[in-house]
Chains A and B, each alone.
Chain A
Amino acid sequence: MAQPLVKKDDDRDDEAEYSPFLGIEKGAVLQEARVFNDPQLDPRRCSQVITKLLYLLNQGESFTKVEATEVFFAVTKLFQSRDIGLRRMVYLMIKELSPSADEVIIVTSSLMKDMNSKTDMYRANAIRVLCRITDGTLLTQIERYLKQAIVDKNPVVASAALVSGIHLLQTNPEIVKRWSNEVQEAVQSRAALVQFHALALLHQIRQNDRLAVSKLVTSLTRGTVRSPLAQCLLIRYTSQVIRESGSTQTGDRPFYDFLEGCLRHKAEMVIFEAARAITELNGVTSRELTPAITVLQLFLSSSKPVLRFAAVRTLNKVAMTHPMAVTNCNIDMESLISDQNRSIATLAITTLLKTGNESSVDRLMKQITNFMSDIADEFKIVVVEAIRSLCLKFPLKYRSLMNFLSNILREEGGFEYKKAIVDSIVILIRDIPDAKESGLLHLCEFIEDCEFTYLSTQILHFLGIEGPKTSDPSKYIRYIYNRVHLENATVRASAVSTLAKFGALVDSLKPRIFVLLRRCLFDSDDEVRDRATLYINTLGGDGSVVETDKDVKDFLFGSLDLPLVNLETSLKTYEPSEEPFDINSVPKEIKSQPLAEKKAPGKKPTGLGAPPAAPLSTVDAYEKLLSSIPEFANFGKLFKSSAPVELTEAETEYSVNAVKHIFDSNVVFQYNCTNTIPDQLLENVTVIVDSSEAEEFAEVLSKPMRSLPYDTPGQTFVAFEKPEGVPAVGKFSNMLKFIVKEVDPTTGETEDDGVEDEYQLEDLEVVAADYMLKVGVSNFRNAWESMGDDFERVDEYGLGPRESLAEAVNAVINLLGMQPCEGTEAVPNNSRSHTCLLSGVYIGNVRVLARISFGVDGPKDVAMKLAVRSEDEGVSDAIHEIVASG
């Protein structure tokens, strides 16, 4: 398929730099734009000037507000001309200028005239322009025309109206939703693209109504859909319906036949969309997969790179969950290793690594070694990650894979690539005991010549933990001490820490380590000296062979069971005074990660990965907010604030959510209210709480909000008293009470007289989980064993029929409100049993650990065995009580 590059015409080279826009200048073009004002318009000339203006904008030039306004007004004059070509350019220009609301009014009438013109091209374009620049108020005026346009017999006009509808739905949903009859009619259109646009809009209008979407899919999958694009949409909507309907017990999945039928469609994009949809079905069986894999396999040998890429990328994903299903494609995959397109080659390699068996590993490694030299770093990282998982799959093959990793570690490469390799070696050392010694030596060799401080320090830290446990720790000392001579201060300091760890754990090495540490006392950097001094003192000072204190070991190796973010904020707020900084005052609650985290580029945290950037702490914000209210001052230290609980449905007049703040003997409800009605001002807003179903609680005060203007959230509080330290639970019904005053939307003036009104909110519950802080432990087993079984309580529970094991596990985690450890909250698909490890701190600062074994019993019944350990007998019992009553 390779073809020699088409040579440029030789005679072109002479005028290579020629461009009609050579030497173009904004100022001059703006001057030229004066022709728009001529009484006798020259359409050709005007078109040229607009093209020049568009060229400038396209090249990234921007107009000032004044310039843009001037150009805009000049351009509006051109509506006088009847020249169609010029009119098109005028439309384009108006869209590019995106005029402000007061300017839009100038062109509205011209555009509305065009919208009703006899020329279809005018109608279609005028609709698109007007909808692009319009706002809600204008939209109601033109709504009638738009509805007509949707069912216009000219497909261009209909599409223009439908696509505009899709855009407008974001800003003016209530108006566009009124068009659903017309849109419904357009779905039946004979014009392919009209059907596509109508389907997209109809689905967006109804997306919150599952039943309607399901009906839509049912009727369309039976009928005919003309455009391939519309068919792709239908496939997407169908998989959504399948996903939401959940899996049926046995037998065929609804709509699977439709998806499978699409694999025989004549358009490749539909075939691919359907194949991909099948591979992404929840709990897809190998029987369901087979036809999809077969068409993807055909694509692998297509002459089109795009098809090969699409197919190999999808198969690569399938290989993660169903490696066996993809093995049939291995021969085609292997031929793709030499594909010109390196993305395709990399995807093929990594797929092969996932599907390969133990015997093919060596052969594959040979092929990859040749391949590695001519791909970019980003692809190499992907390969390294695939090799890591392969090695974990076939631990017996660690020798050749570890060799491969150490070889590529020595070659040239950027930081991200080296980090991926080092991370992989670290993970292999951790998980494959046999690989430890050779892996550590590879790392030692690497830091002898490593240009990345970050990697050196990470490896030194890792050596400090793993090195002393090897059969001959002394052989690593040389590599570590070399760092003290040859590196920058950061690396030197971490080498000192590593030496100290060897000294602490290996008693026989202690005298020699002492000698080395003493030398570090003369380092030029104060951090290095400080560390050396600290370690010499903690280790015992006289340099003899003695056993190290347990306290010292704890200090050197114990994990700081505080989130670093919290420690950092506490240290920042600490003011030097007589009172020393108390580490126990640092909150231990792990902050929930904001959603933004998910959107961040898909980099997974790996072995040595630095912790992700700290999210802004909400707990601190709450603490600050509460401490600013004098009435709550004597409640003591805030134990926990819950996540906000919605007390209203979405899109109601007033939107309210509540946060539960738990103190030792008080509970404060914070109601966050938003008024979504523009012409209302609420005053004296309170929440009347009925606590008759919460016997142990007594209301002590209520703090109303003086006024709640439109779209500005405000808070009102209600505080309760409860028995100290007791995890009292109860249900509270809420009623929002306020005085409504009308606001004139144009002048912003408020009427003096208000009307008292009430608004029923949903109930709020204080549950046992509110008394539990989510505090994770890094090593659950250690924590479990060091807690001891003095206060262990074990019992078994039947959870009855459940939708799935995962759902049951989740329900229990939420019920207890504890932090799942070591990723045990994730339940693999189709598994019949699962063990979940939880950790938390119960009110009164009592640490609690729980180990829960789930099992599926019969078709759907889930049973579990709960073992709880804590520092307090009563708390262990309390946890069981929560489960027993939940």
Chain B
Amino acid sequence: MESCPSIKNILLLDSEGKRVAVKYYSDDWPTNTAKETFEKAVFTKTQKTNARTEAEIAMFENCIIVYKFVQDLHFFVTGGEDENELILATVLQGFFDAVGLLLRGNADKKEALENLDLILLCLDEIVDGGIILETDANVIAGKVASNSLDAGASLSEQTISQALATAREHLTRSLLK
């Protein structure tokens, strides 16, 4: 274990195990079929666990997988069997929180697909070719969002659903006051 900590893949699946966004950094799964088999196996193995308050962990095919769920989104980060589990968990938490921030607290599959560009950019900012780039959710989200903000994405540029979500959020807040 003299090497740099490395990530084998990051998966974001829905509540049926289908892909929302995935990114592989290692050659352990050379074909798309191999990837899908792996995702299916990971999903089946973890779907019954309760990984909503705290990240959970499992060992599988000589890999360590840490995972966390919210709504109908399942987040996974995979590393080698000798990897420091807590480093993987930190990456997972960074990804999980950054997605939460980018989707403005409405982290679910629909929102994720509607903002898939943000999710993909987010993956791109967390890990580069297996090497951890950044783990702080605020920094990650900041880097991703800066683009859309710089581009002058004002309220008018938001998608309808985003606007609705924001509106709903405002409404609930005022009602709760």
Residues in chain A within 8 A of chain B (CB atoms): 1-3, 5-6, 8, 12, 15, 18-21, 43-44, 47, 50-51, 54-55, 58-60, 62, 83-89, 92, 95, 121, 128, 132, 156, 159-160, 163-164, 166-167, 193, 196-197, 200, 203-204, 207, 229, 232-233, 236-237, 239-240, 268-269, 272-273, 276, 303-307, 309-310, 313, 340-341, 343, 601-602
Contact = CB atoms under 8 A, between A and B. Distances in A.
B113 A232 contact: no
B58 to A, nearest CB: 6
Contacts of B147: 84-85, 87-88, 121
Nearest to A309: B57
Contacts of B169: none
Given A233-B4, A269-B86, A5 B50 contact: yes
Given A58-B19, A89-B117, A167-B129, A343 B134 contact: no
Contact of A43 (B5, B22, B84, B151): B151
A423 B4 CA distance: 39
Given A197-B131, A229-B135, A3 B151 contact: no
B113 A20 contact: yes
Interface in B1-59: 1-5, 19, 21-22, 32, 35-36, 49-50, 52-59
A18 B50 contact: no
A233 B54 CA distance: 26
A359 to B, nearest CB: 32
Given A92-B121, A121-B143, A18 B85 contact: no
Given A43-B151, A272-B85, 12 more contacts: A5-B52, A6-B71, A15-B110, A85-B148, A156-B143, A159-B133, A229-B132, A233-B4, A269-B86, A273-B87, A306-B85, A306-B88
A84 B36 CA distance: 33
A343 B59 contact: yes
A341 B49 contact: yes
A166 B5 CA distance: 12
Nearest to A243: B2
Interface residues of B, number: 58
B90 interface: yes
Contacts of A163: 128-129, 131, 133
B84 to A, nearest CB: 5
Nearest to B3: A236
B57 A341 contact: yes
Contact of B133 (A20, A59, A86, A193): A193
A51 B133 contact: no
B28 to A, nearest CB: 11
B84 A269 contact: yes
A58 B59 contact: no
Nearest to A272: B86
B171 to A, nearest CB: 15
Contact of B131 (A59, A200, A203): A200
B66 interface: yes
Given A8-B71, A268-B86, A193 B134 contact: yes
A303 B5 CA distance: 25
Given A85-B151, A229-B132, A340 B50 contact: yes
Contacts of A160: 128
A232 B79 CA distance: 16
Contact of B116 (A1, A55, A233): A55
Contacts of B55: 304-306
A159 to B, nearest CB: 6
Contacts of A6: 52, 70-71
Interface of B: 1-5, 19, 21-22, 32, 35-36, 49-50, 52-59, 61-62, 66, 70-72, 84-90, 108, 110, 113-114, 116-117, 120-121, 124, 128-129, 131-135, 143, 146-148, 150-151, 153, 157
Nearest to A344: B57
Secondary structure dominating the interface of B: mixed
Contact of A19 (B49, B54, B70, B113): B113
Contacts of A304: 54-55, 89
Secondary structure dominating the interface of A: helix
Nearest to A207: B2
Contact of A58 (B21, B56, B57, B86): B21
Contact of A20 (B5, B72, B114, B153): B114
A19 B70 CA distance: 18
Nearest to A268: B86
A85 B150 contact: yes
A19 B18 CA distance: 13
B75 to A, nearest CB: 13
B57 A305 contact: yes
Given A58-B22, A306-B55, A343-B58, A200 B4 contact: yes
Contacts of B87: 229, 232, 269, 273
Contacts of B150: 84-85
Given A59-B19, A88-B147, A236-B2, A309 B120 contact: no
A88 B145 CA distance: 11
A229 B4 CA distance: 9
Nearest to A192: B136
A84 B152 CA distance: 10
Contacts of A89: 117, 121
A21 B20 CA distance: 11
Contact of A602 (B32, B62, B116, B135): B62
A54 B116 contact: yes
Nearest to B121: A88
A303 B151 CA distance: 43
A54 to B, nearest CB: 6
Given A19-B113, A85-B153, A163-B133, A54 B120 contact: yes
A306 B113 contact: no
A467 to B, nearest CB: 39
Contact of A51 (B71, B108, B120, B151): B120
A204 B131 CA distance: 13
Nearest to A3: B53
Contact of B85 (A1, A8, A156, A309): A309
Nearest to B72: A8
A242 to B, nearest CB: 12
A337 to B, nearest CB: 17
A121 B125 CA distance: 11
A62 to B, nearest CB: 8
A276 B131 CA distance: 21
Contact of A60 (B35, B71, B84): B35
A15 B72 CA distance: 13
Contacts of B21: 58
Contact of A306 (B19, B71, B86): B86
20 contacts: A5-B52, A12-B110, A21-B113, A51-B116, A60-B19, A83-B151, A163-B131, A166-B131, A167-B131, A203-B2, A229-B5, A229-B87, A236-B2, A268-B86, A305-B55, A306-B66, A306-B89, A340-B49, A343-B58, A343-B59
A743 B163 CA distance: 66
Nearest 9 A/B pairs, CB to CB: A269-B86, A60-B32, A310-B85, A85-B151, A200-B4, A85-B147, A306-B89, A51-B117, A309-B57
Contact of A1 (B54, B90, B128, B134): B54
Contact of B110 (A1, A19, A166, A197): A19
A483 B5 CA distance: 54
Nearest to B150: A84
Nearest to A162: B131
Contact of A121 (B85, B88, B134, B146): B146
A176 B117 CA distance: 33
B138 to A, nearest CB: 14
A410 to B, nearest CB: 27
A305 to B, nearest CB: 5
Nearest to A44: B157
A51 B146 CA distance: 18
Nearest to A602: B62
Nearest to B62: A601
Q: Which of A43, A163, A276 has the most CB of B within 10 A?
A: A163
Contacts of B56: 305-306, 341
Contacts of B157: 44
